[in-house]
Chains A and B, each alone.
Chain A
Amino acid sequence: MDAQEALFTNLVRLADDHLILGHRLSEWCGHAPMLEEDLAMPNIALDLIGQARALYTYAGEVEGKGRDEDQIAYLRLEREYNNLLLCERPNGDFAHTMLRQLFFAIFMEAYWDKAQSSSDETIAGIAGKAVKEARYHIRHTGEWTVRLGDGTPESAERLKEAYERLTPYIAELFESDAVTQHNASGNILPDPAELKDEFINTLKPIFAQALLTMPEITTGQSGGRAGRHTEDMGFLLAELQYMQRTYPDMKW
């Protein structure tokens, strides 16, 4: 694998994580339990989609075939998306959405923090902006996790159910392969496997307050990086890609 291919593949993986989770969060728009959250969740979604745009644009430059962000984001088949399975999980209830976002934000904060000192200037720039956004996402979803976990019997029950459903998807965050190792060796992008301790250290105090036990992160659901998705992914893409598929190259 050459450096260009490794970088392109890694950038698209990251961009897919952000686009797909951003799309999922945007599904809450107009449906949140209260007006304040109806703004807070789309705010986070827009942060994620903004990060995805920067990553797709840079991936297109690295690839050098003249593809822009829209072509990479919207015109691939399901098996060509390489996002984490966590990011495509359906929203479920509010507790489920908050916990899914908390896991991703804690992981990405550690990731961007490290990527700020990347030898690649574009990546360092994207990371510098994204790390601040991820810190706020941790704060927002972390505070909600605590309040749901230590709230009413119903909120605690629902958070616990979200925990059962989502913990199998944590291990995939830390997967490492030839692509990530290649980029890590050049100090271009961090190796996810090295971020596990930091992830645990950030999650631990939040879970203690939310009265949840820390999960064992060993193995779990996997396949997103190879394009093997859950059943829900096709439905998500049908909505996400509809406009570009129906009106190719449309602009507004």
Chain B
Amino acid sequence: MRSRTGPVVLAIVLLAAAAACDATNNRSSPPASTQAPAQASDQHAGHGEHGAVAAAATPAARAAQLEQYFAQHTLLAIRQMRSILTATPEYREAADAELEEYTEELGQVVGGAYGDAQGERFERIWQDGITHFTAYATAVAGNDAQARQQARTTLEADAGAYGAWLAGASKGRVGAADATAAMRTHVEQLMRQADAYAAKDYDQAYRTERDAYEHMFAAGTALAKASFPPKTAAALDAPVAQLRAAFAMLLGEHMQLIIDTQRATFAGAPEFKAAAAEVNANTTALTKGMSAIVGPVKAKEFQSAWANHVEGLLAYSTAVADGDESARAAAREEMRGYGSRLALFLSDIVRNELPLAPITSALGQHDQHLVDQVDAYAAKRFDDAQAMELEGYAQMLGVANTLVGALQRTVKPGLPVGGSQTGGGGTAHRRR
């Protein structure tokens, strides 16, 4: 049986760290050392055994949790489908197990938002979906058109079941048709990426994977909103909340795309290039996002530091795939230097709202997750690789939250105060 202690411990410290630094969180939090998982309800959670997933009470915390679980679940499903398409039984075993456990935890998270009974209903629908995605991938792998069509039909029915469920669970705040349409998009994206992957159209497969991730991240926000009365849910429409979600989405996506690309190194040149192209697309999006906050000059500096970080990570996985021990050690050393310089840059742009040491440490942990996951993957310890993926993703979202919290404290004082004096003489007033 796989150990789940690590994720639970990780959840505790991440939640405590994020809660301490989140400017939007006005609740006082106990110190990390005394904070129990059930109390640490704010922000991103690790995942664990039954009962370890804490319910989130505030709109921001609930959104963060559902975004994380929906997005991660999507990627687990995609990877499980690809394990079927590539006929790699050892990896499939790990992917199946992880997906099953994560589905259970997702059910608990949804139960935390909508009540246990609704969480159980949701989990049944979601479990059906997993069964049918598996059937779809199996049909594609076996080139069985009839089974493929049957799986498609059942998946479309699953989307309808989700729509009906959400309309009921949200007490009509979301219409069944809208929820069904959103879930149908999800279904279509997962089928499309499987079709493309099977056809070795890796560009399409990885691009669709990225779309699917972003779609379900946003679906997590929508699911959180629908669980609150509109007045309370409006907090998630505020620019501050939108910025948090957008950065968490992009930084989490970076983590997941690096994992894709590391693993794709073992799968040959076309797949590597397709995955790496999405890493670059994510870097471009992150740089533009940074530009919105710190301006184009600093954004360019960020991109340079970030590019070094990305290249360091992929130099390491290249050395691992090549079995080159000295290149591996050299890449690891370079990563430390890149991490320090990136931390210095981030600390500078948040004007010391976050001290340098914790940023350096958090980036070092991010690197370590990716190092450990590719080491495990190369050694065919797929359970460990999957565990590192989940822990690393949760950690990255925690870092994003902390970073955005600091950015928010930096940005706010620089905004113009009050309205504009854009009227000269009252003639407009008199003429209307």
| A associates with B | no
- Residues of chain B touching chain A, judged by Cβ–Cβ distance below 8 Å, are none
- Residues of chain A touching chain B, judged by Cβ–Cβ distance below 8 Å, are none
